[in-house]
């Protein structure tokens, strides 16, 4: 199975992932054990989102960051994830992150939580997210990065062989993806094998 293909076609693995990530009692020890990550950082980032901002949430998964708000658009490639997210909102769409069905410069905020490391080509995905982001808008997300520790790197390699993860990259690669998309005000917050990031699409001078 190709990089990340299991997220599109899988059902059991997708459902199990969504169950754990949305169960705060289980998610905290699991994230710490697997990736040495304090998942409260993710919850804080989600809570800080402006509900008035026109927001693209991709991959929205089962709806961990989804809000019942018509200005929050959840997008995923997996029907299984979208079916689970429908418990929270109907503002959902199945689409490919590499070819978003939106015009240029429309969203105030694009969020991509725990998604880039599942993709075959995260750099291209960042460029596409930037395309639909209005000047002055913000891209925010979290992603696993490579080469943080031997144990997590071994686990990452195993997950990639199972078709669950893509190639991802290091912390330096993540900064390069954002910079090459002409994003500015880049802030990276590493925590274990996970890194949170924010960046802004600059306004024309």
Q: What is the pLDDT of residues 141-193, one digit of tens each?
A: 999 999 999 999 999 999 999 888 999 999 999 999 999 999 999 999 999 99
Position 205 in a domain = no
Residue 9 reports pLDDT greater than 80: no
> How many independent structural domains does the chain possess?
1
Mean pLDDT of the chain: 93
pLDDT value, residue 98: 97
The proportion of the chain whose per-residue pLDDT surpasses 70, expressed as a percent, equals 94
CATH of the domain at 92: 3.40.50.150
Segments forming the whole domain that contains residue 66: 5-200
Model pLDDT, residue 8? 62
Residues 20-38 have pLDDT tens digits of 888 888 999 999 999 999 9
Residue 1's pLDDT is what? Answer: 41
> Which are the contacts of 115, defined by CB distance < 8 A and separation ≥ 6?
58, 59, 97, 125, 141, 143
């Amino acid at each position: 199975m190709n990089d990340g293909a299991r997220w599109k076609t899988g059902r059991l693995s997708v459902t199990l992932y969504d169950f754990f990530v949305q169960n705060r009692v289980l998610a905290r020890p699991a994230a710490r054990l697997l990736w040495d990550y304090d998942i409260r950082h993710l919850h804080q980032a989600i809570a800080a989102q402006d509900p008035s901002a026109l927001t693209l949430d991709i991959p929205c998964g089962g709806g961990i960051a989804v809000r019942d708000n018509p200005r929050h658009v959840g997008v995923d490639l997996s029907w299984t994830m979208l079916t689970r997210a429908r418990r929270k909102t109907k503002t959902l769409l199945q689409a490919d992150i590499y070819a978003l069905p939106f015009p240029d410069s429309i969203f105030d905020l694009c969020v991509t939580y725990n998604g880039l490391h599942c993709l075959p080509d995260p750099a291209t995905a960042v460029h596409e997210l930037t395309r639909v982001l209005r000047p002055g808008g913000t891209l925010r997300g979290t992603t696993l990065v490579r080469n943080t520790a031997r144990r997590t790197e071994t686990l990452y390699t195993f997950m990639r062989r199972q078709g669950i993860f893509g190639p991802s990259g290091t912390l330096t690669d993540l900064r390069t993806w954002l910079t090459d998309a002409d994003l500015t005000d880049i802030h990276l917050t590493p925590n274990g094998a996970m890194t949170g990031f924010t960046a802004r699409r600059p306004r024309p001078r």
